[in-house]
Structure 1
Amino acid sequence: MCIGIPMRVVTVEPGFAQVIGRGETRRVRTSLVDDCQPGQWLLVFLDDARELITHERAAEVNTTLDLLASAIGQSAPSVFHDDPGFVLPSAMDVQALQQMTQSQPIPHTWRPT
């Protein structure tokens, strides 16, 4: 199985880009994507950029990779310093759950009828 890693373009040269992501820097082939520019995000499989992606898509993939790493007991590098990351609903407080689901508060005096 091959997993795509979101990596941000640092520099570009004909046919290649220097990219950084998930704690590492690589030189990847860019022949499968349109022209890329520094600051853009690529989805990289091994040493080939396969897709030009948005910042939001990169954050989604990185969050998923962080969850997978956490599930197998590994720590993941922080990629988006301004993003608190993904929080499981079971770890949220009542107010956060209500905001997420846009539900009304449940009265504490509720009793089945």
Structure 2
Amino acid sequence: MCVGVPMQVIRRDEMSALCSDGTVTETIDLALVGEVEPGTWLLTFLGSAREVITEDDAQKISAALDGLRSVMGGGDLGDAFADLEETGPRLPLHLAAALSEGKTTA
């Protein structure tokens, strides 16, 4: 399984950037996201940036990953998924539209 990790750009070269998640610093390939400025948050997978994200999204993802690490170590989630608990589950737009049209089966 591949888990996306939010990382912030420290400095950029031509097609790579030195990034940090606050604990780990590594060189990230920027081929899929293009040029980014220092301070930009990226969602990274296995050394490659896949998406530019907001700082708020980076914090939410980091909290969720911290909660999962806690559970895997025998702890509890704490408030790792507080943003989801506030709103409850949401269907993707295409499924919400099908449901509102009365289509409940594939």
Q: Do they fold alike, i.e. is TM over 0.5?
A: yes
Amino acid at match of 2:67: L
From the two aligned structures, give the one with the greater helix fraction.
Answer: 2
The residue aligned with 1:60 is: 60
SS at match of 1:44: strand
Normalised to the residue count of structure 2, the TM-score between the two structures is: 0.69
- Unaligned runs of at least 5 residues, structure 1: 76-84, 90-99, 101-113
User: Alpha carbons of 1:23 and 1:13: their partners in 2 closer, same or farther (altered >3 Å)?
Assistant: same
- Greater alpha carbon shift after TM alignment, 4-13 vs 66-75: 66-75
**Aligned partners of 1:19, 1:43: CA distance in 2, in Å?**
11
Q: CA RMSD in A?
A: 2.5
- Unaligned runs of at least 5 residues, structure 2: 87-106
The residue aligned with 1:86 is: 79
Normalised to the residue count of structure 1, the TM-score between the two structures is: 0.65
Moved over 6 A (4+): none
Task: Indicate the percent of aligned positions where both proteins have the same amino acid.
Answer: 36
Number of residues paired by the alignment?
82
Larger Rg: 1
